[in-house]
Amino acid sequence: MPKTLDMPRGTDLSVGRSAEFEREVTADDVRRFAELSGDRNPLHVDPAYAATTNFGGCIVHGAYQVGLASCLAGMHLPGQRVLLTSTDARFPAPLHYPARVRVRGEITAWNPETGAGRLRVTVGPTGGSITADILLGFTLHEFKTSRARASSATATSRPVTGAAVLVTGASGGIGQSLVESLAKYYPVLAATHTEGTNDAEKQQPRVQTLTLDFCDPEWMDQLRAVIPEHGLYGIIHCAWPGAAQGGLLTTPSDVLTRQMAFGTTHLVELARLMVDRIGPDGGRLIAIGSTYGTRQPRLNLAGYSLAKAALEHTVRLLAAELALRNVTVNALCPSFVPTGMNRHADERRQKLEAASIPAGRLCRTSDIAAAVEWLLSPGASFTSGQVIALNGGQL
Amino acid sequence: MFPDLPADQIPRASVSAVAQWDSLATLNLVGVLEEEFQIRLGADDLPSLLSFELIRDRLSERVYAQNA
Amino acid sequence: MKLADALRQANQQASRPGNALRVHLTCGITPLHLQTFLTAHLANRVAERPVTVETGAFGDLLGNIERARRDPADGIAVAIEWSDLDPRLGFRTTGGWAPDGLADIVSGAASRLNALESAIVAVADRVPVSVSLPTLPLPPCFRPPTVHAAPHALALREAVWAFAASLADHPGIRVVDPQSLDAESPPGQRLDLARDLQCGFPYRVEHANTLAERLTALLWPATPKKGLITDLDNTLWCGIAGEDGVDALSWHLDRGDHAFALYQQMLASLADLGVLIGVASRNDPNVVEQALAREDLLVPRDTFFPIEAGWASKSESVARILDAWNIGPQDVVFVDDSAMERAEVAAAFPNLECLAFPSDDDESVLALLNTLRDRFGKASESTEDRLRRTSLQAASARSAACPEVFLAAANAELRMSWNVPDARCLDLINKTNQFNLNGRRQDEAEWRRRLADPSTFLLAVSYRDKFGPLGKIAVVLGRQTETGAVLDSWVMSCRAFARRIEHQTLMALFERLEADAIRLAFEPTNRNGPMQEFLTAVTGQAPTRDLTIPRGVFEVRCPRCYGKVIWDERTERAADTLLLDRVSGFAG
């Protein structure tokens, strides 16, 4: 029996890796194989008969040599986790026995994503020509516990260690909840407009707070100074100036301009920051919009509605422009959330809002956090330029 | 052609991915390709000039046909 | 310049700091690659600023020129094509090529040219303008077969020429010379009909590049250079003055040397423009004087100033001339037929342009004359230029001439053969005048007699360096006597000067003969000044007849030599076989 080596576990396979062993094939081996398989064809086991054929003497079963290939796959390369899926064997020359054979296998294909590969095994007497050329298809079998581990890892896979997620407007209702839930998996940079507004943030170990005033012309430089190269993975743009009431005609121009900036130019500047600071895993830019944007604009919140609608279009255009850099850009538009700017809504108001939602409840910050988590995941890498409403089926 | 396009993004580049790739850029591209590969690009080549991969494939066909 | 490079240059230069240089490109075609090339060429010409090239509306040349007049800029390039004079002369419209429309086309074109002239003159008083005349072929819209010049076509061309002549009178307007354009952009290879029909850009990429380059050169002409230093032998004339004699020098048509006459003519023309003409020649000053005094020389004698004739290295002569003129090397051109001389001067003066005089290739001479015109040509002439020949300008520094650096890098190889006679050795002895120990000639009989004498020795030196081989260039014939070695003949070709070959020859003799002193049968002649100068330099005093040079004295005074000496293995033939050996034509 060949020594059981430290069997590879399938994580270090690559095209070109090879393994081999040598074995004596005796008359006894051939006899036992004939008994086990039932193939007692005299060509293999009757020397007198074999002498009358063009082979001149007994030859080893081809299937026996395939068995040797199976031994190489199962014990050497890929080793313990192998599962054969197909065989294709040719026998270019007869193998007489007794003989010392050399069995050599080389990986000719390997796809780590699907876990499938091909192994080409040759068998032949040492110093002689090949007597069996076998192509094995294989995959790797999973362990029960590792599969569970693997699936949970996919849902909340972390990016490269150290690459952080920036949350703007981290002191708002949505912002705070996002910081808390994201901090479980990512280093978080919580940017707030005012200092020291949330003790809960300070208690969390992976959260770094930062004061960020979008009115300060240097705000981009401040962020650049704090975030190292390759140090950014996600940006969740929650920051928004208070929604001024009124229609477009009554909203002062500077207020309107400021609302628009948060949905357009600031978002574009954050996109620039993203491009400057992402690492090899790419990036995720998520803007928090609102159903009051294009879905259900509110006349008395005209400035807010207009700016949130503009945000949706900014997202679409940025998504196309950043796609090659592996950055996805999406908007999440929650319906009414009783937090942040809506925290003063009384119970009646809340019930009124809930009445228009088929799911029968208001959007929670946890709903938003879950959607953010998904958009941040590697699995969401093909979802970009989308405006996703979180509104319980609201028409 | 596109000075701001990093080299690693070129294989996946297309008219829909590169903001600067407009009709003027396409005309410049035609000029440069003709000069570099010593071929003439005609009207039936233009629909192929939409992405790096399509351009590469088209050029392979043209150059292969020329040398055949 | 290739399109890819022009695009790259146009992109890169946009981020240069400073105020942008603004140039209007006014044309009726789609600007496309012409704009790209113009931007790139301008960016190359004006290296420290960004460049923007503004364009106008398609098909509206006149309107574009007028818009350019209202928008102040640093320059305007006007590229005219036939389609600007009448759309029916282009390929994009179908106004009809009916014969009865031709008269209308011609008269329309004439009035259009008048309008263009007024518009261009109006902008030219404020901004430099460069104009190119139609470069594309006329379409086959005339009556006769294409080989036959149609009257209407001739009328169109006549109108364009008159227009060009009228524009050229204005100092601020420069017209691209069609001949210059033809030389680089063949007329049959300019039109790209497919591209013209597709998007209105009718030029092939190469033509667009050439046209843009010409337009740029006219907007920002290079400053004309101020001085030209010329070699004499095989540059100003055919022949070597010191060897062939002043009367044998030739620049005559019937001798096949007329190219030199053209060069002389060019120098005279440049001198008239005010260009300073100097001479740097390795020659006896008296010989040079005589040669330059020849009445049939096409350059007036007093044109040349200064004349550096002597045995110093060319770079030293050039340095003295620059000093005398008080101008910097970047404003000077040096012309010489010898690659080695040019390299030597270029090593000493890196920004002095050294041009080859191609003494055996008439075509290249014409190219040289065109280049000289490019370097020195001026649109207009000032009296100041004429005066410059006799007055001096403000000085600029020059780098020190350094023959050492040059010699060290020449990779010189001296192949020495001992007692291997051939016809070339005798030739050299009889032909060489300047570096000649005593000027004594030998006829064949005497030569054989000497070679038969067992006490005779013969040293022949062949030379090559990185510029190429010179072949056998020095011969020493001597004999061993009871009192030591005597050199009876020592000659070296004047092609071999300034390489210290003579020093290495003498050194080789000392070594080979194992002598402490060598006697030289020196005799002054009216031609062997170089030999006299050499002997003076290595002995420290003027040579006398039959002088002896002690080895120690020579070694102290011998400058550093860089050539690698290789002894030819075929040496030491027996004395009596020297007589029998008549290897002819052996080029060592």
In-domain check, residue A2: no
C443 Cβ partners below 8 Å, 6+ apart? none
The CATH number for A208's domain is 3.40.50.720
- Per CB-CB distance under 8 Å, the chain B contacts of C3 are 28, 31-32, 35
Domain boundary among C407, C434, C451: C407
> Rounded to whole angstroms, how far apart are CA atoms A353 and A347?
10
In-domain check, residue C119: yes
- Per CB-CB distance under 8 Å, the chain A contacts of B13 are 324
CA nearest to C198 within chain B: B43
* Coil/strand/helix, residue A26: coil
Query: Residue A107's beta-bridge partner residues?
Result: A119
- Cβ atoms of residues A290 and A304 within 8 Å: yes
In-domain check, residue C585: no
Put simply, the answer to whether C4 touches B42 (Cβ < 8 Å) is: no
C291 Cβ partners below 8 Å, 6+ apart? C232, C237, C241, C246, C249, C297
In-domain check, residue A1: no
Q: Does C2 touch chain B (CB under 8 A)?
A: yes
Supply the ipTM of this predicted assembly.
Answer: 0.88
Q: Which of B2, B24, B29, B35 to mutate to test the interface with C (most CBs of C within 10 A)?
A: B35
- Same domain? For A181 and A51 the reply is no
The CATH number for C197's domain is 3.40.50.1110
In-domain check, residue A181: yes
Min distance B38 CA to chain C CA atoms (Å): 12
Degrees (nearest 5) of the Cα angle C30, C33, C36?
115
- Which is more confident, B64 or A86? A86
Spacing of C-alpha C480 from chain mean position = 49
Q: Do chains A and C touch (3 or more CB pairs under 8 A)?
A: no
Q: CA-CA-CA-CA torsion for C440, C444, C450, C454, nearest 10 degrees? A: 150
- Same domain? For A30 and A164 the reply is no
- Same domain? For A90 and A188 the reply is no
Q: What is the pLDDT of residue C268?
A: 93
Q: Does B28 touch chain C (CB under 8 A)?
A: yes
- Cβ atoms of residues A232 and A280 within 8 Å: no
> How are the residues of chain A apportioned to helix, strand and coil, as percentages rounded to the nearest 5?
35, 25, 40
In-domain check, residue C572: yes
Q: What is the pLDDT of residue B54?
A: 87
Q: Average pLDDT, stretch C465-482? A: 86
Give yes or no for residue C539 having a pLDDT over 60.
yes
Q: Does B1 touch chain C (CB under 8 A)?
A: yes
> Rounded to whole angstroms, how far apart are CA atoms C53 and C41?
11
**Residue A59 backbone phi and psi in degrees, to 5:** -125, 155
Q: What is the pLDDT of residue C372?
A: 94
> Rounded to whole angstroms, how far apart are CA atoms C473 and C461?
6
> Rounded to whole angstroms, how far apart are CA atoms A310 and A258?
13
Give the count of beta carbons closer than 10 Å to the beta carbon of residue C508: 18
**Residue A36 backbone phi and psi in degrees, to 5:** -65, -40
Using pLDDT thresholds of 50, 70 and 90, give the confidence band for residue C402.
low
Domain boundary among A108, A128, A145: A145
CA nearest to B33 within chain C: C4
Domain boundary among A113, A145, A177: A145
* Coil/strand/helix, residue A295: coil
The CATH number for A45's domain is 3.10.129.10
Q: What is the pLDDT of residue C583?
A: 40
Q: Does C4 touch chain B (CB under 8 A)?
A: yes
- Cβ atoms of residues A274 and A266 within 8 Å: no
- Which is more confident, C256 or C83? C83
In-domain check, residue A13: no
C2, C32, C201 ranked by CB distance to B35: nearest: C2
Q: What is the pLDDT of residue C467?
A: 76
Q: What is the DSSP letter of C95?
A: S
Using pLDDT thresholds of 50, 70 and 90, give the confidence band for residue C222.
confident
Query: Residue A133's beta-bridge partner residues?
Result: A90, A122
In-domain check, residue C164: yes
Sheet with strand C21-27: strands edge to edge: C51-54, C21-27, C75-79, C129-132, C173-175
- Which is more confident, C79 or A207? C79
Q: What is the pLDDT of residue A316?
A: 96
> Where is average pLDDT lowest: A249-263, C32-46, C146-160, C421-435?
C421-435
C509-to-C407, C416, C433, C493 alpha-carbon distances in Å: 22, 10, 22, 18
- Same domain? For A106 and A194 the reply is no
Q: Position of tokens 């030289």? A: C520
Q: Average pLDDT, stretch C146-159? A: 93
Domain boundary among C377, C407, C437: C407
- Per CB-CB distance under 8 Å, the chain C contacts of B28 are 3, 7, 32-33, 36
Min distance B3 CA to chain A CA atoms (Å): 15
Q: Average pLDDT, stretch C316-332? A: 91
- Cβ atoms of residues C75 and C130 within 8 Å: yes
- Cβ atoms of residues C277 and C270 within 8 Å: yes
- Same domain? For A224 and A302 the reply is yes
Q: What is the DSSP letter of C233?
A: B
- Cβ atoms of residues A356 and A171 within 8 Å: no
- Same domain? For C189 and C244 the reply is no
- Same domain? For C390 and C455 the reply is no
C446 Cβ partners below 8 Å, 6+ apart? none
Q: What is the pLDDT of residue B43?
A: 81
- Same domain? For A133 and A159 the reply is no
Angle between helices A265-277 and A219-226 (to 10 degrees): 20
- Single-letter residue type at C380: S
> Rounded to whole angstroms, how far apart are CA atoms A285 and A288?
10
Put simply, the answer to whether A324 touches B19 (Cβ < 8 Å) is: no
Put simply, the answer to whether B27 touches C7 (Cβ < 8 Å) is: no
Domain boundary among A145, A174, A189: A145
- Same domain? For A79 and A200 the reply is no
**Residue A31 backbone phi and psi in degrees, to 5:** -65, -45
CA nearest to A325 within chain B: B9
Structural domain containing residue A56 = 18-145
- Same domain? For C368 and C457 the reply is no
Chains that touch B (3 or more CB pairs under 8 A): A, C
- Cβ atoms of residues C74 and C21 within 8 Å: yes
- Cβ atoms of residues C357 and C234 within 8 Å: yes
- Per CB-CB distance under 8 Å, the chain C contacts of B27 are 32, 199, 201
Q: Do chains A and B touch (3 or more CB pairs under 8 A)?
A: yes
Q: What is the pLDDT of residue A197?
A: 52
Q: Does B8 touch chain C (CB under 8 A)?
A: no
> Rounded to whole angstroms, how far apart are CA atoms C31 and C33?
6
In-domain check, residue A25: yes
Structural domain containing residue C156 = 3-219
> Rounded to whole angstroms, how far apart are CA atoms B36 and B29?
10
- Per CB-CB distance under 8 Å, the chain B contacts of A324 are 5, 9, 12-13, 17-18
- Same domain? For C356 and C443 the reply is no
pLDDT digits (tens, 9 = 90+) for B2-61: 888 888 888 888 888 888 888 889 999 999 999 988 888 888 888 888 888 888 888 888
Put simply, the answer to whether A324 touches B9 (Cβ < 8 Å) is: yes
- Same domain? For C403 and C414 the reply is no
Q: How far apart are the first and last CA of chain B?
A: 30
Domain boundary among C192, C219, C246: C219
Min distance B45 CA to chain C CA atoms (Å): 13
Degrees (nearest 5) of the Cα angle A236, A238, A242?
165
In-domain check, residue C337: yes
Residue A144: its H or E element: helix A144-155
Give yes or no for residue C399 having a pLDDT over 70.
no
The CATH number for C242's domain is 3.40.50.1000
Q: Which of B18, B20, B22 to mutate to test the interface with A (most CBs of A within 10 A)?
A: B18
In-domain check, residue C436: yes
Structural domain count, chain A: 2
Min distance A305 CA to chain B CA atoms (Å): 28
Degrees (nearest 5) of the Cα angle C457, C459, C465?
175
Structural domain count, chain C: 3
- Same domain? For C389 and C452 the reply is no
DSSP per residue, B21-64:
-SHHHHHHHHHHHHHHHT----TTTGGGTTBHHHHHHHHHHHHH
Q: Does B1 touch chain A (CB under 8 A)?
A: no
Q: What is the pLDDT of residue C577?
A: 44
Q: Position of tokens 């000649």? A: C436
- Cβ atoms of residues C41 and C212 within 8 Å: yes
- Same domain? For C267 and C309 the reply is yes
CA nearest to A280 within chain B: B8
CA nearest to A326 within chain B: B9
**Residue C307 backbone phi and psi in degrees, to 5:** -110, 110
- Same domain? For C359 and C494 the reply is no
Q: What is the pLDDT of residue C494?
A: 82
- Which is more confident, C583 or A223? A223
Phi-psi region of C233 (alpha: psi -120 to 50; beta: other; left: phi over 0): beta
- Cβ atoms of residues C6 and C36 within 8 Å: yes
Put simply, the answer to whether B35 touches C201 (Cβ < 8 Å) is: no
- A297 is written with which tokens? 């604009």
> Where is average pLDDT lowest: A143-147, A229-233, C413-417, C560-564?
A143-147
Cis peptide before A98 (omega within 30 of 0): yes
- Same domain? For C453 and C533 the reply is yes
- Same domain? For A184 and A79 the reply is no
- Same domain? For C83 and C162 the reply is yes
Q: Average pLDDT, stretch C360-380? A: 88
Q: Does B36 touch chain C (CB under 8 A)?
A: yes
Kindly report each contact of residues C446-451 with a partner whose C-beta sits within 8 Å and lies 24 or more positions away, as own/partner. C448/C579, C450/C477, C450/C479, C450/C488, C451/C421, C451/C578, C451/C579
CA nearest to C36 within chain B: B28
In-domain check, residue A102: yes
Q: Does B33 touch chain A (CB under 8 A)?
A: no
Cite the DSSP H helix spans in C125-190: 151-168, 178-184
In-domain check, residue A160: yes
Give the count of beta carbons closer than 10 Å to the beta carbon of residue A341: 15
Put simply, the answer to whether B16 touches A320 (Cβ < 8 Å) is: yes
Cis peptide before C224 (omega within 30 of 0): no
Q: How far apart are the first and last CA of chain A?
A: 70
Min distance B11 CA to chain A CA atoms (Å): 10
- Same domain? For A135 and A187 the reply is no
C294-to-A328, C239, C297, C299 alpha-carbon distances in Å: 86, 14, 6, 10
- Same domain? For C420 and C549 the reply is yes
Q: Which of C2, C3, C39 to mutate to test the interface with B (most CBs of B within 10 A)?
A: C3
Q: Does B34 touch chain C (CB under 8 A)?
A: yes
- Same domain? For C294 and C184 the reply is no
Put simply, the answer to whether B19 touches A323 (Cβ < 8 Å) is: no
In-domain check, residue A10: no
- Single-letter residue type at A174: I
- C352 is written with which tokens? 């002095």
- Across A89-107, b (16+ Cβ under 10 Å) vs e yields bebeebbbbebebbbbbbb
Q: What is the pLDDT of residue C587?
A: 35
Strands A132-140 and A164-168: unpaired
Q: Does C210 touch chain B (CB under 8 A)?
A: no
Enumerate residue ranges in chain A where pLDDT < 70.
1-11, 142-162, 195-203
- Cβ atoms of residues C191 and C138 within 8 Å: no
Q: What is the pLDDT of residue C570?
A: 62
